[in-house]
Copies of this chain bind each other. A is one copy, B any other.
Amino acid sequence: MPSDHTKPAGARSAGRPATIDPDAVAGVALRLFAENGYERTSMENIARKAGIGRKSLYRYFPSKADLVWGGMEPVVEASGQVLENARTAGPADGDTSEGGILAGLRAAAIAGASAIPDLSVTRGRLRLIAERPELASRSYDALAPQRERARLYLMELGISESAAGYVCAAYLGATFEAWMQWAAGTDSDPVPYLVEALGVLRIPAARPCG
């Protein structure tokens, strides 16, 4: 189930079925943000316009920022899965050279780009994130799972713990900036931005015996 984000519970069969469509609610919220501005739109107002209660809104979106960031979750999830697979596949077939490691990180970033359902909606989300510092800051939390997976991936390939932390921080910072630059323009393909961003990374030499 690739899109069970924001779903409060795993799809059980018992009990009353859900009637609220989180994607529709997020769509209403994004429209209101575009029309009236992010801060001038209250959760109360979003709930009312979506025809649900404020408490129900908070059940699907624990915070106001999740209405914007929630839609980016498939991207980081797809990207993280690639790193997870590359790691658990073992470093046996892994290329532990700098080029090989960078190729892994690049593949993950590109996989994220491929997981975007709607380019224009995603661009709208990112532009909103770019203009609200409180939303941009959230990248640190929103990308946390990605950070952890990248860290494990690098350490599996023999990178020291400290160096892995630095590479991850630089990796996430650069790719997020790539998304921001893509969103600011009109190009349809974000991949070239991601590739250029990855060009600022240098992978320290791995330990001889990982």
Partner-B contacts on A (CB < 8 A): 133, 136-141, 144, 162-163, 165-174, 176-178, 180-181, 193, 196-197, 199-204
B204 touches A200 (CB 8 A): yes
Which listed residue, B137, B167, B201, touches A140 by the CB 8 Å rule? B137
Q: Would you give 12 A-B contacts (Cβ < 8 Å), ordered by A?
A: A133-B140, A133-B141, A133-B144, A136-B141, A137-B138, A166-B196, A169-B173, A169-B176, A169-B177, A170-B171, A200-B202, A201-B201
Closest 4 CB pairs of A and B: A173-B173, A170-B170, A169-B177, A169-B173
Most chain B CB within 10 A, of A137, A171, A193, is at A137
Q: Is the CB of B202 within 8 A of A201?
A: yes
**Which residues of B are found within 8 Å of A162, using beta-carbon distances?**
181, 193, 196
Asked whether, in the complex, the Cβ of A170 is within 8 Å of the Cβ of B200, the reply is yes
A160 closest partner in B (C-beta): B196
CB–CB B139/A140 < 8 A: yes
Q: How many Å from the CB of A82 to the closest CB on chain B?
A: 20
Q: Which residues of chain B come closer than 8 Å to A203, judged between CB atoms?
A: 200
Complexed CA–CA distance, A141 and B168 (Å): 19
Which residues of B have CB within 8 Å of A200?
Answer: 163, 166-167, 170, 201-204
Chain B residue nearest in CB terms to A98: B202
Q: How far is the CB of A138 from chain B (nearest CB, A)?
A: 6
Write the nearest CB–CB distance from A87 to chain B, whole angstroms. Answer: 19
Query: A199 near B202 (CB under 8 angstroms)?
Result: yes
Residue numbers in B under 8 Å from A170 (CB-CB): 169-171, 173-174, 200-201
- Taken together as a complex, chains A and B put the C-alpha atoms of A66 and B165 apart, in Å, by 26
A69 to nearest B CB, angstroms? 12
For A202, list chain B residues within 8 Å (CB). Answer: 199-202
Closest to A144 in B: B133
A155 to chain B, nearest CB (A): 14
**What residue in chain B is nearest A165 (Cβ atoms)?**
B177
Q: Chain B's nearest CB lies how many Å from the CB of A176? A: 7
Collect the chain B residues with CB atoms within 8 Å of residue A181's CB: 162, 165
